[in-house]
Structure 1
């Protein structure tokens, strides 16, 4: 009989020791039970995972989103870029980084003055340019001592082709 009491006491302690924390002590919110579910890969468009950026980084930078070029627009931009690159390469080889020279070279291609924008680079010496083409495309880049950059991209609804300079 002595062993029965001892066995009952040990079993009782085991049962109490295995109870969930908070169970039966008046706690109205039991701990959640884990469930196993298949998880889908994270949505790439949702932005970086927490800790890799500001909580609303994607929303804060939404104004930078550009028009996605159609295949036809991309082709138009590529053809325009192919005409622009040799003119600007010639300027670079001549050591001419003046924005007025860059503008003249672009206008000499027969581009409309309203579609061409050129400004001076701060550092190094050089010129930054934009050429707008229908419907919402841009050829952007720069001429500087170490390179000529010519890129085809979509325009932005807020700022057009060139992103404003910020500090």
Structure 2
């Protein structure tokens, strides 16, 4: 019992004195440097971390693997960019007319000759804490084997992005929270 009290008291005393003894030798007035500074001394090299990210939860990568998209070949990337260049003016015209309806977005994509089975259009989702979604549409147009042109049409912008499809869900990521 007495040993436990002494150990506890020693630990508490050490912790209390720790801030007083943290300065490195030679940093206080009157200290004598033990070894002369080297002309070739350099700052300590800290290696890059190689383990999991410290701020990511365990298994984060595995848990989000379903979201990973296919890499596009150079040819598929070029094909996607050509399709995106055709889509953007049609959707910009809708936005300029103040028409952000999903049905109008789908019609514009169909008018470009994109097959109905390659198109997915939905309304915008309501932001967290709000009951009604903002006006606008989210769309995807699938091309080649695993390519997608995705984006949205809303009052403040038209977004057009070329990306690969995900094995789990295709072009548009399903809502999850």
TM-score by length of structure 2 reads 0.67
Task: Confirm whether residue 120 of structure 1 aligns to residue 123 of structure 2.
Answer: yes
Is 1:65 aligned to 2:59, yes or no? no
Q: Partners of 1:153 and 1:83 in 2: how far apart?
A: 16
2:160 corresponds to 1:150: yes
Give SS of 1:132's match.
strand
Q: Distance in 2 between matches of 1:115 and 1:89?
A: 21
Please give the alpha-carbon distance, in whole angstroms, between the structure 2 residues aligned to 1:131 and 1:111: 7
SS of match in other structure, 1:125: coil
State the distance in 2 between where 1:65 and 1:40 align.
29
Number of the residue aligned with 2:16: none
> Is structure 2 residue 149 aligned with structure 1 residue 139?
yes
State the alpha-carbon separation in 2 of the partners of residues 49 and 57 from structure 1.
9
Displacement, 1:126? 0.3
Structure 2 segments unaligned to the other structure (5+ residues) = 1-44, 126-132
CA distance in 2, matches of 1:134, 1:105: 20
Matched, 1:95 2:98: yes
Answer yes or no: is 1:76 the counterpart of 2:79: yes
For residues 57-81 of structure 1, the C-alpha deviation after alignment (integer angstroms, 9 at most, x for no partner) is 1111111100011111100000000
Match of 2:88 among 85, 88, 94: 85
Aligned residue pairs, count: 126
Distance of 2:62 and 2:49 partners within structure 1: 18
- CA distance in 2 between counterparts of 1:39 and 1:137 reads 41
How far the C-alpha of 1:124 sits from its partner, in A, is 1.6
Q: Which residue of 2 aligns with 1:110?
A: 113
Residue in structure 2 matching 1:53, options 45, 52, 56: 56
Alpha-carbon distance in structure 2 between the residues aligned to 1:85 and 1:153: 15
* CA positional deviation for 1:39: 8.4
Question: CA RMSD for the aligned pairs?
Answer: 1.7
Higher Rg: 1
